[in-house]
Structure 1
């Protein structure tokens, strides 16, 4: 019998669109396709999920991918006031994803964070963010450039990868070039997170959770963009997919992984 597909949960963004500010629940197409094409899993959404629903919902899935988004994590979650009210926020997403991160860590659910998702993991575990990276002395401007997606997602700068890390293995060496489309970034890294990539200005660009029961990594860049065309990006998602398949096998057999 053909086994059921592995299921990866991608939380929705909350937006108001159109002339009447109609509420929408959205998922970026490129994230769903990356899960399907490079992690070999089925993307799923629980559009109205709340933190109280996590005990039941996490038992249905094999992994969680926290996507990027135009919105930022609300700075109240790391003890700051809003620096720029013009920038979009998504408190409804925060209410779910910050709790979701902690639940994934506790239950050993494979977790991959991308861009906003990278920042969510850091904040959920006790870290803080620079609200305006380009306004911090000594840091580069990491925001996107160009008028087309091909220009925006083109390689922007190098990252130095931690020796012996999984990230270095996936890249096939100590240095890689990545895209850059973010205005916020890690300030204080949360306890238990190990930086595995840095930009030339020293900004943390990737981390892993030390002692994680299963895959728990995040990157500030966007490996989902045409992941099949970029061996490094594909390797990150493939490793996530392997962890997802292991989780499914144990979930379906009814076994449990001990810490």
Structure 2
């Protein structure tokens, strides 16, 4: 089988003198459940390493990965830096990672330029919103004190709430007639100003927190705030397999038009 190839953006772990083995090394990694989620749909996940930094060598660029791969997935992790959307951090804990931001925004630009689909999960939704000109709530409990608890450190991925789909959106069509609309919630930041050219596809019914967005133009760019890779129907949560299938179908659809580069 000629499987669809999906690039996965890398998380960063920076040098820490307290770690004897890796005190001087920057590590790049992906959380295991993310590639396993992609593999459940028959895709081949490929972590895309940064092509810049103090150890960078050769002339391989992110554009090369965008030309070779069929789609891009941005997943969870550290906060998006407020400086990436023109703000100052309201608290030192929310400084985020501007290096990862720049790397992932360059990835988005490269894949969109190649006409390849881009899908975001949690931080990935927030990064996509910022990459296209939107802003974020830096801390939901501080800036929206009446909101639901969207991140519970003790419950982590067992913190759940209901999802409300926006009618007449692609997501509402994909998830029509699902037996459960319960999703996990593992985030303290969220969309504040929606990026131009995007629509909201789902919200939290308790406080209107944006839970899914999609680009309205020709570019296939979509994202969800929850983690579909964490749970499945066996946990009594939303069966969002159609979301994965739709993303992978979009990736396969690009292959015929990009076959000369493969």
Distance in 1 of aligned mates of 2:187 and 2:64: 33
Q: Secondary structure at the match of 2:168?
A: coil
Alignment of 1:157-236 (within 5 A): 157-173=161-177, 176-199=181-204, 200-213=206-219, 215-227=220-232, 229=234, 232-236=239-243
Structure-to-structure mapping, 1:118-133, within 5 angstroms = 118-133=125-140
Match of 1:62 in 2: 70
Q: Which runs of 4+ in 1 moved over 6 A?
A: none
For 1:44, which of 43, 46, 55 is the aligned residue?
A: 46
Q: 1:155: Cα distance to partner? A: 5.9
The 2-side partners of 1:160 and 1:118 are apart by 17
Structure-1-length-normalised TM-score: 0.85
Q: Distance between the aligned counterparts of 2:132 and 2:10, measured in 1?
A: 21
Q: Distance in 2 between matches of 1:169 and 1:153?
A: 26
Pairing partner for 1:92 from 81, 95, 99: 99
Displacement after TM superposition at 1:254 (Å):
6.3
Task: Say which SS state the counterpart of residue 55 (structure 1) adopts.
Answer: helix
Partner-residue secondary structure (3-state), 2:199: strand
Report how far residue 99 of structure 1 moved: 2.1
RMSD: 2.5
Q: Is the 8 A contact 1:34 1:226 kept in 2?
A: no
Task: Tell me the secondary structure at the aligned position of residue 48 of structure 2.
Answer: coil
Structure 1 counterpart SS, 2:93: coil
| Partner Cα distance (1:231, 1:201) in 2 | 19
How many residues get paired? 246
What secondary structure does 1:112 align onto?
A: strand
Deviation of the 1:245 alpha carbon: 1.4
Q: Tell me the residue number matched to 2:150.
A: 142
> C-alpha offsets along residues 199-234 of structure 1, whole Å, 9 cap, x if unaligned?
120111101000234x32101110111447566321
Deviation at 1:46, TM superposition (A): 2.6
- Deviations 1:92-144 (CA, angstroms, capped at 9, x unpaired): 21111112223333332111100010000000000000100111233222113
Whether the 8 Å contact between 1:50 and 1:95 is mirrored in structure 2 is no
TM-score (norm 2): 0.85
Segments of structure 2 that go 5 or more residues without pairing to the other structure are 54-59
Where does residue 79 of structure 2 map in the other structure? 72
Rate the CA distance shift 1:177–1:45 in 2: closer, same or farther, 3 A: same
Structure 1 stretch 91-100 or stretch 51-60: which is displaced more? 51-60
Partner of 2:37: 34
Contact 1:224 1:233 in 2 (8 A): no
In 1: Cα distance, 2:157 partner to 2:171 partner: 20
**1:77–1:25 CA distance, 2 compared to 1 (3 A):** same
Report the alpha carbon displacement of residue 23 of structure 1 after superposing the two structures with TM.
Answer: 2.3
Counterpart contact for 1:8–1:44, Cα < 8 Å: yes
Q: Is the 8 A contact 2:152 2:159 kept in 1?
A: no
